[in-house]
Amino acid sequence: MSESDVIIAKDQTMPTGQVSLIARSAILIASLVFVLMMAVGLLLRSVQGGFVTIAPDMFYKLMTLHGVGMVGAAGLAGFAVMWYFLNKYVALSKAMFLAFLGTFLIGVVVIIGSIMIGGFGGAWTFLYPLPVQSGGVWEAQAAILFLVGLLLIGVAFLLGYLDVGRALIKEYGSLAKSIGWPALFGNAEAPPPTIVASTAVTIVNVIGTVAGAAIILMSIFNAIAPTFSVDALLAKNLTYFFGHVFINASIYMTVMAVYEIVPLYTGRAWKSSKIFLIGWTITLFMVMAVYPHHLFQDLAMPPWLLVAGQIGSYVSGIPVIAITTLALFGYLFKSGARWDLSLSLLVLGVFGWAGGVIPAIIDGIISVNKVMHNTMWVPGHFHFYLLIGMVSMAFGFMVWIGRQGTASAFRGVEKLSFAAYVIGGLGLVAMFLISGANSVPRRWAEHLVQWQSYSQLATVFAVITVLGAIAMLFYGIAGAAKTATKT
């Protein structure tokens, strides 16, 4: 052990044994999916750049696979992080987690079948009525299969959240208590950050998943009996409400790794301060209220709802920057913490989240949205907070959990891999944003010639990102293997 080695702090309260094993398996599965889907994303970008030629139907199938695979893996990774740390405070059922994981994986298999065998290419947002009106490209059966797969994943998450909700209520008495309202409005002792955040996530994601299940079921009915039709505007509202809540919740769950692991490096506990509690209470309502920012160009929407969406989309960015990011700054600054791979990934993750909020807010201004909506600006902002944000935190958790209590220096190769991930990711995101600012539409299988250079540069950055991500997965697996042989 050299001088530069850091002993990855081992907190005695951290769950071990089966809980750790389950969480490690889940995060490794999610990370494997991340890496595989990144390779698919790389292929998509190189097609747009004109480097590779595939038929448009194949492009859209792969785009659907990339989207649904990434969103599913984000949910899984987030849930694994939350579930692991919650085990410190409340009694969760391992059987329920396995039921969640099992149902989730069956859903994944069904979805892959619907895309690769059934030919479904209606995008992960399955916007009604596209799934059943493909213009003759895929059959209704493929759409039904895809929707059933999604429904299974929804059921899986509901199982998981019900157990989390049950455990929170059992331990704290009610969700109002576990989100910290008695401490916020009175002077009761506040629950730990993980408990507060878990409560918010559980509430919003149960509501979000139910909304998602409703539109999925309606779409399935419509596929079986086309005379049963759904109002297209209602369908859009439900779909984006669900999608917005679900993807945000996956970030909220993953950030618990930051709350729990960063203090092991800094020696400064992450506190449920008043402002922290206010932040989560605002987020609880805001994450559900801002989804109309996906509907700015639907002129049938009531204008007041659009204005509320614009203000809400700005306000919901405030806690990320003014509360989470600044808290992290305070905990890190002159703490004497030593940088290693997992700490670097976790901090990068918060950066990605805070950075991604900026183009999101800009696009959340209706007059900007008029000329940015459904351009590459949109994947630009969400790859920022998913690829550089959420996935980095998930990787940080994966590396940390594999190495707990062991000595680890921030070795040269690790620094190089980390740098690759950062540079590749930032370059990739920058190219999306620049493309969007130059009016390049999103979700186009073939780009105009004058747009191809953006995609070509992006492809180079994507290669670098994928290499970095493969290295992260490798460190995760190596850590898991070591821990496995030790026990």
Task: Give, as ranges, the residues between 11 and 70 that touch ligand HEM (CB under 6 A).
Answer: 34, 38, 41-42, 44-45, 63, 66-67, 70
Which residues on neighbouring strands pair with residue 441, listed in sequence order? 375
Spatial contact of 182 and 156, defined as CB atoms under 8 Å apart: no
Least distance to other proteins, CB of residue 331, Å: 9
Residue nearest to ligand HEM (CB): 41
The token pair at 400 is: 């940390």
Q: Name the DSSP letter for residue 3.
A: T
3 state SS of 407: strand
Stretch that binds other proteins, among 193-201, 213-221, 362-370, 390-398 (CB under 8 A): 362-370
Least distance to ligand HEM, CB of residue 44, Å: 4
Stretch that binds other proteins, among 83-91, 175-183, 369-377, 465-473 (CB under 8 A): 369-377
Residue 408's φ and ψ, nearest 5 degrees, are -150, 125
Q: Pick out residues in 254-273 that bind other proteins (CB under 8 A).
A: 268
Is there binding between residue 336 and other proteins (CB under 8 A)?
Answer: yes
Q: Report the C-alpha gap between 162 and 96 in whole angstroms.
A: 9
Stretch that binds other proteins, among 54-62, 107-115, 159-167, 459-467 (CB under 8 A): 54-62
Burial of 12 (0-12, 13-18, 19+ CB in 10 A): exposed
Q: Pick out residues in 375-434 that bind other proteins (CB under 8 A).
A: 375, 377, 433-434
Residue type, 365: I
Out of 244, 294, 373, 383, name the contact with ligand HEM by CB under 6 A.
383
What interhelical angle do 303-315 and 341-363 show, nearest 10? 150
Least distance to other proteins, CB of residue 371, Å: 5
The token pair at 248 is: 């945000």
Binding mask 96-125 for ligand HEM (x = CB under 6 A): ---------------------------xx-
Binding mask 409-448 for ligand HEM (x = CB under 6 A): -------------------x-------------xxx----
Cα distances (Å, whole numbers) of residue 284 to 103, 182, 357 = 27, 16, 17
Q: Pick out residues in 274-313 that bind other proteins (CB under 8 A).
A: 275, 297-300, 303, 307, 310-311
Q: Pick out residues in 150-209 that bind other proteins (CB under 8 A).
A: none
Determine the length of the chain. Answer: 487
Total residues in contact with other proteins, by rule CB under 8 A = 81
Best CA proximity match to 381, nearest among 370, 389, 371: 389
Spatial contact of 349 and 392, defined as CB atoms under 8 Å apart: yes
Give the count of alpha carbons within 13 A of 207, CB side only: 15
From the list other proteins, ligand HEM, none, which binds 177 (C-beta under 5 to 8 Å, kind-based)?
none
Total residues in contact with ligand HEM, by rule CB under 6 A = 26
| Nearer of residues 50 and 441 to other proteins, judged by Cβ | 441
Is there binding between residue 40 and other proteins (CB under 8 A)?
Answer: no
CA dihedral 398, 403, 409, 415 (to 10 degrees): -20
Q: Report the C-alpha gap between 311 and 352 in whole angstroms.
A: 22
Spatial contact of 297 and 369, defined as CB atoms under 8 Å apart: yes
Q: Nearest-5° angle of CA 160, CA 36, CA 155?
A: 20
Least distance to ligand HEM, CB of residue 67, Å: 3
* Binding residues vs ligand HEM (CB under 6 A): 34, 38, 41-42, 44-45, 63, 66-67, 70-71, 74, 123-124, 379, 383, 386-387, 391, 428, 442-444, 462, 465-466
